[in-house]
Amino acid sequence: MSGLRVIPTWRHGQERLYVCLTDGRNVAWYDREAARVNLLSEASREDVLEVLGPFLTGPVAVGPPPVPTPAELARLTLHPDDDLAPNRPGEALQIALDRDPGPPHRLRPDPRRRALLAEQAVGEALDRLDGAGWHALHSVPLPGGDRVHHLAIGPGGLFAIHTLPARKQRVTVADPMVTLGRQDPRPLLRRVRADADRASYALTAEVHPVLALAGPADVRITAPLREVRVIADTEVESLARLGGVLKPADVEALHAMARDRNTWTRV
């Protein structure tokens, strides 16, 4: 076999090196993270390893592609327009700002930009949990124009996370009221619980409500909270210490279900 070429691509944030024939057909691919060369035909083994030689780092496994799990099959058949996994933290706010950035000069900063920075801080902390067996989805749309800011799925269970920008402000929580600085109290915890309830209905699984405060100067909780967590953005990674609720296969199945936009149309 001759004329093989190596084409680098990115899939779901991971680099793969595809080995292709001159007509563009794939005969193998090298997954760097898994340290594995996947062969579509055993007859091409020697030629594939030869052309990949300059790219291989350390020992690698060589063989046919692994059989996909049901969750992987569901993800592969998902239409790109229905896949929520590529959503960035604050995706909905970013799109709104791109469409209508507002006047160039304002007496006060656009509150949407503060909210976007808060969601990005919390979302980036959640994304760092990926190596601990967690998945995070961002800006999950709900009927009526609402959305779940972040959905975390991992060994410790499912969490619907609502982000509140609180940079350098004191936050007082008196369930269900939340007071930010000198602003009037708002029954925000009702909204946080309602989002979690809707997520539970969509996924047919228990989803825990979380209020994540971005950059607070101080947090005071006046009484025990009912079925809700209140954390700072610097505490998001503490979720990785939770475990014993979901098995890896359950995490993957729930993630495959949650990333499908159609899952959320019935709530």
Per-residue pLDDT tens over the stretch 174-197? 999 999 999 999 999 999 999 999
pLDDT score at 266:
75
Per-residue pLDDT tens over the stretch 127-175? 999 888 999 999 999 999 899 999 999 999 999 999 999 999 999 999 9
Mean pLDDT within 116-131:
94
Least confident of 15-19, 111-115, 245-249: 15-19
Mapping DSSP onto H, E and C, the string for the chain reads CCCCEEEEEEECCEEEEEEECCCCCEEEEEECCCCEEEECCHHHHHHHHHHHHHHCCCCCEEECCCCCCHHHHHHHCCCHHHECCCCCCCHHHHHHHHHCCCCCCCCCCCHHHHHHHHHHHHHHHHHHHHHHCCEEEEEEECHHHCEEEEEEEECCEEEEEEEEECCCCEEEEECCEEEECCCCCECHHHHHHHHHHHHHHHHCCCEEEEEEEECCCEEEECCCCCCCEEEEHHHHHHHHHCCCCCCHHHHHHHHHHHCEHHHHHHC
Mean pLDDT within 52-58:
90
Q: Is the pLDDT of residue 1 over 60?
A: no
pLDDT score at 18:
86
